Structure 1
Amino acid sequence: MTSDPVPWWTSAVVYQVYPRSFADADGDGIGDLLGAASRLDHLKRLGVDVLWLSPVYLSPQADNGYDIADYQVIDPVFGTMDDFDRLLAAAHVRGMKLIMDLVVNHTSDQHPWFIESRSAARNPKRDWYWWRPPREGFAPGEPGAEPTNWESFFGGSTWTLDEPSGEYYLHLFDRRQPDLNWENPEVRHAVHEMMRWWLDRGVDGFRMDVINLIAKDPALPDGAPTGTGGLGDGYPHYGTRPRVHDYLREMHREVFEGRPRRLLTVGEMPGVTWEQARLFTDPARREVDMVFQFEHVSLDHGPGGKFDPRPLDLRDLKACLGRWQTALGEVGWNSLYWNNHDQPRVVSRFGDDDRWWRESATALGTVLHLHRGTPYVYQGEELGMTNAPFAGPEDLRDVESLNHYRQAVAAGADPEAVLRGIRAMGRDNARTPVQWDASPHAGFGAGQPWLPVNPNHTWLNAEAQYDDPASVFNHYRRLIALRHELPVVAQGDFTMLLADHPQVYAYERTLGDVRLLVVANLGGTAQTVEIDWPATDPILSNVDPARLDGTVDLTPWAAHVYTVDSTG
């Protein structure tokens, strides 16, 4: 995190591996580290620069590894520390960096820190977590006795009663994920020590899970009522609080400063605004290199929230992404993503996974990758993997979806309507096994996978796409190559075009005398648009190339990229 004028990650592309669903080497039905290592040539062939590894630490798996019981032990379900070292070395040999998932807003309730904290009110580690007595006037366990009215991200209260002590502990997520108290310097020191241990082992940085939630208001005031069972919105009291900047600058000093290698730090930040992101990613402030914001993946949330989706208005998407491009154009840096382990598949969400599957998958990829920022490819996205046809709650594994189904149905909602929302937006969509080939388990492994393989793997798989020049995979290869080859993609200015068009997404990138234009029809009807640009043929298209000469004709889900150099 130095002030290099052009950091290496501006022209890099990151690939997220969710190990549980990537590749299974030992046949137990769960992906593992040796499975990931066996598929690294796929990433090399794709051309990515960085492998982001979702959590592989020791965990009871209450939230699929985002509940960590030991930060310096590999969970046996994924292998051993020797297996991790082999994966790291194999990535480095192929010219790829590897970043770890850092989950330090909370731990598992099985972490030794929490077990000790829970053991007695006077234990030295009691203050490593947020413990509070019942609300004044209430007995422990009595309805309304929770210390605050905050609602958990996974539904219900953020407080769970510890009956032996009669006190409650805070968990913004599942009750098995108690929140660490970052006000305590001993907590911060322990986290820094753990991070240095991984960097000394050779990892190249961290993606920091919900890192803007680590600074709570110590007063823990109630939040505004949400209308859900007397619960309230606690976010103003724990989301992007001023102290988080102090914590991140301290982390930089204690962990990253003076390192001989230029590392990568990415902060996942629910609810972050572009104004806040400018502060977090300003190189002079030495906090993080880039942030994951959630604004663009919230645009299709309906009145009932995430599981009540509504159709996306493309004009809203353009306004949102354009705003972030402009805001972080001179100071800071964007992360670019459609998919990750928490989001449904973009071709099913914003595209057309039926008639225009290939065209919409490649058009959406084109639009995203040629923005200014660092693109992230989530495993299977480069194949155009789709949402899965979950038949019922018995097919689900994700704690968020299961909690939502149980609570909504208990409140009287129609079970089939609840399932429709989960099928569209549930996190399990991202977690079905990667589709390597057409064999019974899609080449994932010999054993029955922990989550069923999508039935469309018989035709939608990597093996079927490698040698097809028109495939989604090979289109992603070309997009990644453009970022590596053309400085205008990595560093050029951004200008949104046709901002009010309801179906066409167009923008220009400029660096010196070089101009690059992206025009994409993100819909199923043909469009013709006027664009004031020099007459030219595209350098990349996902369908038959269309010449631009004052106007351009766009077939459904067509995407074209043009470039000119005024010096030549």
Structure 2
Amino acid sequence: MDKKWWKEAVVYQIYPRSFMDSNGDGIGDLNGITSRLDYLKDLGVDVIWLSPVYQSPNDDNGYDISDYRAIMQEFGTMEDFDRMLSEMHKRGIRLVMDLVVNHTSDEHKWFVESRKSKDNPYRDYYIWRDAKEGKEPNNWGSCFSGSAWKYDPQTEMYYLHLFSTKQPDLNWENPAVRKEVFDMMNWWCEKGIDGFRMDVISMISKPEGLPDGKIPEGGLYGDSGCVNGPHVHEYLQEMNREVLSKYDLMTVGECAGVTIEEAEKYASADGKELSMVFQFELVDLASGTYGKWTDKRVPLKDFKRVMTAWQTELEGKAWNSLFLGNHDQPRCLSRFGDDSPEYRVVSAKMLATCLHMMQGTPYVYQGDELGMKNVPFHDLSEFRDIESINAFHELTGAGKVAPDDMMRYLNLRGRDNARTPMQWDDTASAGFTTGTPWIKVGPDYETVNAKNEMADPDSVYNYYKKLIHLRKEKDIMVYGTYELLDPEDEALYVYTRTLGDQKLLVMCNFTKEEQEYTVPETFAGAEVLISNYPQSGAAAGARKLRAYEAVVLETK
């Protein structure tokens, strides 16, 4: 059993713009985070993953960085950052920073220089190409709609941007770029941070020769093929040698397009690259003709198949990260559970049980511990996310999707669902700000808020607290092996965890209908470890699972 602190940790993701505003400008900030650290200490989390707080013009909410060694003015100062880090460490909470190095902002000094002339020393920091037959260098599409190339009249060439036009891609083939990135990472490590979450890190190595991509059905542009490129593992091993191996860090790579085989390389137990990866196979389930823009639900059999493959095939080879939502996904309760008033609480607890009982490091996205849900947006003007707004214009403008349908898809799958302000109490703007919030507040904040839930022993918050506490007590929750039972069942997700002669049976009803389940004989005499309903009667034998019921049995 290869024990590591980051395997035993529970991570809490903070999206700083929406967490807590300390100065009344309607935007969350670092001092706001510091003021709420006792709440996170009470919840029991070990690590905070902080979405980007670097200096940025904010084209993509901070994922477009103009200065890696400065703090975005809206969020505060470097002194505020240092105080926040110190206060976290005083409470035994570690900090993982968001590292965005596939691209920078077009306002970064490197790019400002790069676009000045073809022989500028910084020219080769980015990917520039001549037009091909009077158009873009190839047919690649941006992840944020439109072409991945932008013509720059100054030098009459195109630069590559796999995301927004204001996010030019760095040229990782240039050793000078890699050195700059590693120097910057070392600078943050010397400040005392505890790790990095690496944004779209699987995209840093581009395919040789930048060939045209295949145009997917319903698409307008070709797929860039920029995931798991030819040199990505070389670059990460170099990063590990130059930075990561020198400190006791937790690293997680956001790896779009990662397969289980690739994940074994990125997060190999030999420690040559990263601690773990985020894979998107689960959250990409039920995608339709227009990618994520759909109203399809994920069938439970598919959900179980994907979760189980990652649990069993990485066993002993690489470590899993466990998540159902983040700042780029809709609220997990609305997506995988039932956010109706009747079932919101039991369903949120059931999803938490299903996830936290698996092998891997669990991630809690801010507000999930309260059972926060998607917020209804009634008009495009209420959205703030560049991806949602661009997709609406592209798909409705091309006549592919009717505006009413597109609004429905945005309300189900858009990123702004997770970005509405954290609901602290029942005062105006949910206690997030004394000013006007930068994005609308969930209409249910008067009942669904941290103040109410901390005081209610049966709340979603106190259930999360119990799950997190159990994980610290029970090695089996962290290190036990996983086995799926009844893979074809379309209503129940049942699996076991085994460590030595200890066993857990995890039973989760993903429907609002009562389901019958026969508990295996091996669990005769087992005791209930945790459940989201009051329990009575024998553990083994036939039992009925109520709407969204979750029960974990432990053999003694």
Fold match by TM threshold 0.5? yes
Which whole-Å CA distance do the structure 1 matches of 2:523 and 2:320 have between them? 29
Alpha carbons 1:169, 1:178 under 8 Å: kept: yes
Say whether residues 1:292 and 2:283 are aligned partners.
Answer: no
How big is the shift at 1:283?
2.6
2:223 to 225, 230, 233: 233
Match of 1:208 in 2: 198
* CA deviation profile, 1:435-492 (whole Å, cap 9, x unmatched): 0001111010111100011111011101111021110001101111111100000100
Name the aligned partner's letter for residue 176 of structure 2.
E
Which whole-Å CA distance do the structure 2 matches of 1:362 and 1:286 have between them? 37
Which whole-Å CA distance do the structure 2 matches of 1:431 and 1:101 have between them? 16
Which whole-Å CA distance do the structure 1 matches of 2:295 and 2:196 have between them? 32
1:108 to 92, 105, 109: 105
Alpha carbons 1:278, 1:327 under 8 Å: kept: no
Structure 1 unaligned segments of length 5 or more: list them.
139-144
Alpha carbons 2:527, 2:555 under 8 Å: kept: no
**How many percent identity over aligned positions?**
50
Which whole-Å CA distance do the structure 1 matches of 2:315 and 2:287 have between them? 27
Name the aligned partner's letter for residue 113 of structure 1.
W
1:125 to 112, 122, 125: 122
1:309 to 272, 295, 318: 295
* CA deviation profile, 1:217-236 (whole Å, cap 9, x unmatched): 2300000123557521112x
Match of 1:394 in 2: 381
**1:35 is paired with a residue of what secondary structure?**
helix
Q: 1:494-505 alignment to 2 at 5 Å?
A: 494-505=482-493
How big is the shift at 1:194?
0.1
How big is the shift at 1:115?
0.5
How big is the shift at 1:285?
5.0
Which whole-Å CA distance do the structure 1 matches of 2:477 and 2:230 have between them? 34
How big is the shift at 1:258?
3.3
Match of 2:366 in 1: 379
* CA deviation profile, 1:364-409 (whole Å, cap 9, x unmatched): 0100011000000000000000000101101000000000111122
TM-score with structure 2 length normalisation?
Answer: 0.98
Coordinate RMSD, CA, aligned: 1.1
**1:270 is paired with a residue of what secondary structure?**
coil
How big is the shift at 1:27?
0.5
Which whole-Å CA distance do the structure 2 matches of 1:290 and 1:9 have between them? 10
1:95 to 92, 96, 108: 92
Match of 1:14 in 2: 11
**2:429 is paired with a residue of what secondary structure?**
coil
Structure 2 unaligned segments of length 5 or more: list them.
none
Q: 1:38-437 alignment to 2 at 5 Å?
A: 38-135=35-132, 137-138=133-134, 145-227=135-217, 230-235=220-225, 238-259=226-247, 262-354=248-340, 355-412=342-399, 413-437=401-425
How big is the shift at 1:548?
2.1
Name the aligned partner's letter for residue 203 of structure 1.
I
TM-score with structure 1 length normalisation?
Answer: 0.96
Task: Give aligned pairs, total.
Answer: 551
**1:308 is paired with a residue of what secondary structure?**
coil
Name the aligned partner's letter for residue 547 of structure 2.
P
How big is the shift at 1:164?
1.7
Name the aligned partner's letter for residue 98 of structure 1.
L
Alpha carbons 1:149, 1:222 under 8 Å: kept: yes
Which whole-Å CA distance do the structure 2 matches of 1:415 and 1:128 have between them? 40
Which whole-Å CA distance do the structure 2 matches of 1:53 and 1:282 have between them? 24
Alpha carbons 1:280, 1:287 under 8 Å: kept: yes
Which whole-Å CA distance do the structure 2 matches of 1:494 and 1:329 have between them? 9
**2:70 is paired with a residue of what secondary structure?**
strand
Match of 2:450 in 1: 462
Alpha carbons 2:207, 2:230 under 8 Å: kept: no
Which whole-Å CA distance do the structure 2 matches of 1:11 and 1:146 have between them? 48
Which whole-Å CA distance do the structure 1 matches of 2:543 and 2:35 have between them? 44
Match of 1:543 in 2: 533
Q: 1:442-457 alignment to 2 at 5 Å?
A: 442-457=430-445
Say whether residues 1:478 and 2:466 are aligned partners.
Answer: yes
Name the aligned partner's letter for residue 417 of structure 1.
D
Name the aligned partner's letter for residue 362 of structure 2.
P
How big is the shift at 1:537?
3.4
